[in-house]
Chain A
Amino acid sequence: MQMTMKSWLSKSAVTLALCASTFGSAFAQTVYNIPSLSDFSGPFASIMPAFSEGRQSVLNWWNAEVGAKLGVKLELKPYDTRYDTAQTASLWPAVLATKPLIGFMLGGPDTAALQQRLPGDKVPMILGSAANGFGWRPNQWVFSMRPTFIHEIGGFLEWFQKNKLTENRPLKFAVFTTEASPTYADIGKGLVAYAKARPEKMQLIEVVYAELQPADLTLQLRRVLNAGAELIVMPSSLQQAVAVKRAMQALGKNVPIVYNMHNAPSTVQRMVGGMDAMNGDYEAHAAVIAGSDDSEAKRFYDMLATKYGMKQPWNSFTAIGIGQAMVLVRAVEAAARKYGGDKLTGELMYKTLVDVTYPANQFNGYSGGEIDFSVEAPFPTKDPRVNIGFVQNGKLTTIAPAVPAPKLEKW
């Protein structure tokens, strides 16, 4: 009985010690607010849940497995800015009142509303999409994990010209984009400058500026195909991507189309008759190809789905949210290791973002390569890489990982 009592006492002491250490570490965790600017009621409302869950599940994972050891907890605070500059501008002071450490941004309107005031407010923000030409300026506090769309498309075009043409000659390609959005208009201009600088490799047939949500693009596609286009570059809206694919089907042609992450073949296929209809097309960008591969990124997604509340399906939108969040948590991690988990500020986060080069293996396959930000450019410039996916037999698989993106001049 005495022994039993002794053992009971010792067990209790161990339990108490464990509880104390657990609670101790929990209480020692410094909580930081992470604003998550979202669009649940604007043009991206349909894909926002995927983005949002990507962000949240990564934070759940990081808090439990990394943050707990560093004494840091990141708490996501979602805000609906409706993809509207005015809404973001008027909402921001409320966000600032929560003393955010670093945050998530969605796109152009958020950037337009805040980019001039963020250096004063000392809050760096992470963007999920690729960067653009007009954001390529020094002293930016809005960082993009991917290089510009032109870096991404350029990387693919050079790979295609080298590997898919039977002879060494310029690749004839056409681009479909729109002037309705500054980002997409900038892509058109950037690709003109890109092709002009490489006449020995690239021949740009035409940049077709169409509506953002076109009913039909058959005439325009026929025109560029008759002019000899061997590849169609499709960096614009999902609706345009669908219209170009439908036009290709209507014309009975099979010229390859290269899509980006936001209009990936896995999304377009739903509107054009299934994944088999996408055979022969490509997806290229500096992030993970959310395809059928058993990749490191997919396994990470599966882990998030099993343990950390991820319910959205595996697709490019979920991958954007996860990738964006991976950059954010790795930056916080680096800052916490350097300055201490309880001493983090927005300014230290900015310093960490521009000072540290993040190796590709930190991102579980969600980045094109290593990520380095600098004061001169708020996106990776040292050695940006592009992943290329290809649709064959109704399946999207990565056929060329980490293809180097070209060195570009500002356009």
Chain B
Amino acid sequence: MDPSGIFFTNYASDRSLIRSRPQGLVLIVFLACLVTLPWWGGDRLISIGYAMFITCIAVVGLQICTGYAGQINLGQSAFMGVGAYGTVLMLHHFHCDAILAMVVGGISAAIFGVMFGITAARIKGFYLALTTIAAQAIFHFLILNLPGAWLGGAGGVHVESAQVLGIALDQDRTIYWLSLVVLTVMVTGAFGLVRSRHGRAFEAVRDDDVAAGMMGIPVVATKARAFLVSSFYAGVAGGLWAIALRHVSVEQFTLFNAIWMIAMLIVGGLGSIVGALVGTVLIQFAREGVTTLGPHLIEWLPGVGQDFLFASMNVLLGALIVFFLLFEPKGIMYRVEITKRAYRLWPFPY
């Protein structure tokens, strides 16, 4: 719902993402803050920033698959892993530009992911969730059992600093900016996708795949496409992660990470790109917050054991998430939308 007095006279304006001038201004200021953060924020904030951007890319991909197309996906971490390996192998063997390596990483993850999309044609719900867990097991098994010369085996693959357009990615700052640019491109792409006919097909399949099929939507292809796009996003995120760490190994991509991504999605709100971003930012900040607070509390309260304090911090994190899900199970974006609508209609009830 647009604010009162805002109306459009042509189709292009009516489809625009930025609906009003203040909205555009806020977005520009926000982006300017993010771009300049490495100058005014500390090193810690920079590293939190790029870790968050990378996670956001993977969670936005998951949102497309799970939130829009309704396909439960617990393999997102494995898809990230495939993308990371694809990227690192490109960098390691061909010393190519990081962007090209990430695209190849994304494509390799998409190919791996689409196989699970095809299985989604026959199964759904919990059964599909179990199938996507298999992606995790297969990824792990392949990496550890293929010849070590191919994928590094248990030890993983090291890579020297990558380059983008001749700029070395050997500083946290450059990785931060690259992650921000990639995130911006991917999020813009996600907005475009979900508003296209593919996005509408995703939503139709999510709401009722039988009815969608009767309406002429190719259900199997749509589900496969959702996995394809989602795992491409995960692959790009994995590629960025590998570039940031300059090392990739199988233990960085666990089922536990995939479950955290689902949690971010639920907290932010299913079926909303902004929700995926908000959920990721909230959970990541909460996790980083408790991790940062722990050492300070140890200094302030030396009598209390480290184990007790750190464990308490994580209980606090868990309690926050449970509390949130109890009181806002539809995600934070649902509450934001209600509040925004009420504000725009005030003083009228509807």
Contact = CB atoms under 8 A, between A and B. Distances in A.
Interface of A: 38, 40-41, 45, 48-49, 52, 77-82, 85-87, 89-94, 96-97, 108-109, 112-113, 115-117, 120, 132-135, 179-183, 185-186, 189
A225 to B, nearest CB: 26
Interface string B42-61: 11101110010001000000
Given A41-B310, A134-B156, A186-B154, 10 more contacts: A40-B311, A45-B307, A45-B311, A89-B51, A94-B43, A94-B292, A112-B245, A112-B251, A135-B155, A181-B251
A52 B250 CA distance: 27
Interface string B144-157: 11000000111110
Nearest to A79: B295
B246 A93 contact: no
A72 B244 CA distance: 35
B330 interface: no
Given A40-B311, A109-B251, A92 B154 contact: no
8 contacts: A41-B313, A78-B294, A78-B295, A85-B252, A90-B48, A116-B159, A116-B245, A186-B154
A369 B264 CA distance: 49
A40 B306 contact: yes
A255 B178 CA distance: 58
A116 B247 contact: yes
B53 to A, nearest CB: 11
Interface of B: 42-44, 46-48, 51, 55, 140-141, 144-145, 152-156, 158-159, 170, 172, 241, 244-247, 249-252, 257, 287-288, 291-292, 294-295, 298, 305-307, 310-311, 313-314
A189 B158 CA distance: 20
Contact of A179 (B140, B241, B245, B252): B140
Contacts of B158: 116
Contacts of A90: 47-48, 51, 288
Contact of A182 (B51, B245, B246, B249): B249
Given A89-B245, A93-B172, A80 B251 contact: no
Given A90-B51, A94-B292, A49 B153 contact: no
B257 A86 contact: yes
A80 B156 contact: no
A185 B144 contact: yes
B310 A80 contact: yes
Contacts of B314: 40-41, 80, 82
A38 B306 contact: yes
Contacts of B245: 85, 89, 112-113, 116-117
A142 to B, nearest CB: 12
A49 B305 contact: yes
A78 B245 CA distance: 22
* Most B Cβ at <10 Å: residue of A79, A96, A181, A183: A79
Contacts of A132: 154-155
A89 B251 contact: no
Given A89-B51, A109-B251, A183 B306 contact: no
B30 to A, nearest CB: 21
A77 B294 CA distance: 10
A90 B145 CA distance: 30
A86 B288 CA distance: 11
* Most A Cβ at <10 Å: residue of B55, B159, B294, B295: B295
B306 A52 contact: yes
A89 B305 CA distance: 25
Contacts of B246: 116-117
Contacts of B42: 93, 97
B154 A182 contact: yes
Contact of B154 (A82, A87, A189): A189
Given A90-B47, A93-B46, A186-B154, A112 B306 contact: no
Contacts of A182: 144, 153-156, 249-251
B179 to A, nearest CB: 12
5 tightest A-B contacts by CB? A134-B155, A40-B310, A182-B154, A93-B43, A116-B246
A189 B246 CA distance: 25
A52 B51 CA distance: 27
Nearest to A36: B306
Nearest to B299: A77
B44 A94 contact: yes
A113 B245 CA distance: 6
B316 to A, nearest CB: 11
Given A94-B43, A115-B247, A87 B170 contact: no
A121 B298 CA distance: 26
Nearest to B298: A78
B172 A87 contact: no
B311 to A, nearest CB: 6
Given A80-B294, A179-B141, A38 B310 contact: yes
A58 B257 CA distance: 35
B48 A183 contact: no
Contacts of B44: 91, 93-94, 97
A292 B4 CA distance: 81
Contacts of B313: 41, 80
B307 A89 contact: no
A86 B42 CA distance: 18
B252 A109 contact: yes
Contacts of B251: 85, 108-109, 112, 181-182
Nearest to B46: A93
Contacts of B295: 77-79
Contacts of A45: 307, 311
A112 B252 contact: yes
A40 B307 contact: yes
Contacts of A38: 306, 310
A91 to B, nearest CB: 6
Contacts of B306: 38, 40, 49, 52, 78
